Amino acid sequence: MVASALFIMDLKGKIIISRNYRGDIPMTVSERFATYLQEKEESEQRPIFTEEGCTFAYLKYNNLFLLSVTKRNSNVALMLVYLSRLVDVFKEYFGELEEESIRDNFVIIYELMDETMDFGYPQTTEAKILREYITQEGNRLEAAPRPPVALTNTVSWRSEGIKHRKNEIFLDVIEKLNLLVSANGTVLHSEIIGAIRMKSFLSGMPELKLGLNDKLMFEASGRAVSASTKGKAIELEDIKFHQCVRLARFENDRTISFIPPDGEFDLMTYRLSTQVKPLIWVEAVVEPHSHSRIEYMIKAKSQFKSRSIANNVDIIIPVPSDVDTPSFKASIGTVTYLPDKDAIVWGIKQFHGQREYLMRAHFGLPSIAAEGSSANATEKCWKKPVQIKFEIPYFTVSGIQVRYLKIIEKSGFAALPWVRYITCAGDVYLRMGT
């Protein structure tokens, strides 16, 4: 990938900040991008397009476009990945990336653009390392920042000589459930996207070894999956690791060994596409009464163990756009009508396992609706699926478990690993029957 130039723009395609890396295109190409945004319908827009020999590849993030322009035919995924890494770097620096944070930090943004990319080629996008020498803070300037050794040694993600008073490490096992259920209740598609997120506050150069209830690892180590290994072993379909994990070692005996970067990072992500039954099952019965009113009867049932609790459950039910005078009755939680989204949201703060709740909604419909349009609108709203959001702590759908985390460091400090599990809804949609 060779980017000729990089732009960060607002949603209209107006430049907020830009960098011309190679000088082989005029910076006015940005106008072509703005025109593209204006002239193309949203459904015609593609994240990569070429016009008159210039290729535009862009990401949309919050209220911004990050755009790279190139004249060469190059590794196309890489362009987009670079942009998303850049977003990560900015987020690490400024907390969140939006127009304001750019305007407040334009000097450092220029520096980061120059440091992460030279002459159009990505260089270093490890925010933790960049933070050590790309800085504008006055008080740190007395000791002139130098490129850290980490840029040179083989552990490029960690500098030497890190010190923490209290050595701690936090592990969050986060599983996102994507689920699509058809109107008749069959699960059409379900997958679990998992991540083990670490927050490491360890001194020195610690060697870590993580043990999971990975079926293949048990097999590799010659141990039979027996009752002695607590819980059952699970089979992770496809695992991706942070670059700190020694891949060759993992290939050999499925050991996850690594020297962690300091601070927060995703150690690994995994995917499982096993059949998962909906943790919260929603049935919706809709009764339209000839142009005058429409009634909803919603039944929600939790299908997980009774000792677990789902927090912040939102059940989002689409309604026709022309309804009025809403009235609700729910056995638990609160119901709100969001006219701008054409939906009602049934929010339940705590939803215990093995329970069932009911909610009724009643709307008026304009009595003299244009024959076709109303029928159409009602039908369209039925086409929209019911969406469910939730979080269930201390629970993973896959059953993954952290069995141990060994920490070995020269200085021999004692460190405490903390482990948390949580399952949350990713895209959980239940199609409504007609």
Partner 1 sequence: MTMSAPLPQSRQSHPSPLPGQHQQQNPPAYFVDTKKGEVSELKQLLKTLAVEKDPKRKRDVIKKVIAYMTLGIDVSRLFTEMVLAIETPDLVVKKMVYLYLCNYAHAKPDLALMCVNTLQRDCSADDPMVRGLALRALCSLRLPSMLEYISAPLRRALTDQSPYVRKTGVMGILKLFHLAPDVARSANFVDLLYNMIQDPDPHVVTNCLIVLGEMLAAEEGGMAVNQPLILHLLGRLGEFNEWGLTQILALVAKYHPADEEELFTIMNLLDPVLRTSNSGVVLSTIKCFLHLTTAVPDLQPQVYLRVKAPLLTLMAGGNPEVEYCILKHLEAMVHRAPGVFDDEYRQLYVRYNEPTFVKYEKIDILAIIANEETVGDIVAELAEYSTDVDQEVSRRSIRAIGNIAFRLPSAAGMVLERLVGFLDVDMNSMRPETILVMRDILRRYPERKAEALPRLQPCMRRVDNHPEAQAALIWMTGEYGGKNFPEGPYLLEPLIDSYATISSALVKLSLLTAAMKLFFKRPPEMQSMLGRLLAAATNDLTSQDVHDRALLYYRLLVADVEAAKRVVLGEHEMDVNRTTIVGTFAEERDMTSLRDKLFGEFNTLAVIYGKPSSQFVSPSYRIKPAETSLTPFMMGVQIGDSGNNGNNLLDLHADDSLLPGGGVECGVESESPSRAGSTNPEGSTAYTGPSSDLLDMSDMGVSLAVPTDRITTPSASQQDFCTSTLALIDSFRMEPETFQHLWAELPESISYNVDLTVLPTDGLSTLETSLLSRGIKCLASGEVTDVFKLFLYGQHELGRLYLIQIVIHKLSKRLNLTLKIGRPEMESEGDDGKDRSANAVVELITQVLSSLHLL
Per CB under 8 A, contacts with partner 1 among 260-299 are 266, 269-271, 273
CB of 11 to partner 1, least distance (A): 14
Task: Examine residue 80 and tell whether it contacts partner 1 (CB under 8 A).
Answer: yes
Compute CA distances 264 → 200, 201, 240, 242, 433, whole Å: 6, 9, 17, 12, 44
**For residue 237, how far is the Cα from the chain centroid?**
19
CB of 352 to partner 1, least distance (A): 28
Q: What x-and-dash track marks residues 326-365 binding partner 1 by CB under 8 A? A: ----------------------------------------
Window 101 to 120, contacts with partner 1 (CB under 8 A): 101, 103-104, 106-107, 110-111, 114, 118-119
Q: What is the C-alpha to C-alpha distance for residues 322 and 325, in angstroms, rounded to an integer?
A: 10
CB of 219 to partner 1, least distance (A): 18
Binding residues for partner 1, how many (CB under 8 A)?
Answer: 108
- For residue 154, give both structure tokens: 């083989």
| Of 95, 251, 340, 414, the one binding partner 1 by CB under 8 A | 251
Residue with Cβ nearer partner 1 (250 or 346):
250
Amino acid (one-letter) located at 315: I
CB of 177 to partner 1, least distance (A): 12
Window 206 to 245, contacts with partner 1 (CB under 8 A): 237-243
Residue with Cβ nearer partner 1 (152 or 228):
152
| Of 156, 308, 312, 321, the one binding partner 1 by CB under 8 A | 156
CA dihedral 254, 255, 261, 264 (to 10 degrees): 70
Window 19 to 58, contacts with partner 1 (CB under 8 A): 19-24, 26-28, 30-31, 42-43, 45-48, 50, 53, 55, 57-58
Window 356 to 415, contacts with partner 1 (CB under 8 A): 372, 375-376, 379-380, 383-385, 387
Q: What is the C-alpha to C-alpha distance for residues 285 and 346, in angstroms, rounded to an integer?
A: 15
Window 124 to 153, contacts with partner 1 (CB under 8 A): 124-126, 133, 136, 138, 141, 144-147, 151-152
Q: What is the C-alpha to C-alpha distance for residues 286 and 295, in angstroms, rounded to an integer?
A: 6
Window 189 to 208, contacts with partner 1 (CB under 8 A): 189, 191, 193
- Cβ-in-10-Å burial (0-12, 13-18, 19+) of 76 comes to middle
| Of 33, 86, 122, 158, the one binding partner 1 by CB under 8 A | 122
DSSP track, 113-168: HHHHEETTEE----HHHHHHH----HHHHSS-----GGGTSS-TT--TT---SS-E
Beta bridge partners of 310: 351
Window 60 to 79, contacts with partner 1 (CB under 8 A): 60, 71-79
Residue with Cβ nearer partner 1 (391 or 427):
427
- For residue 388, give both structure tokens: 């469910």
**Cβ–Cβ < 8 Å for 233, 215:** yes
Residue with Cβ nearer partner 1 (70 or 203):
70
User: Residues near 286 by Cβ (< 8 Å), separated by ≥ 6?
Assistant: 294, 295, 296, 297, 382, 432
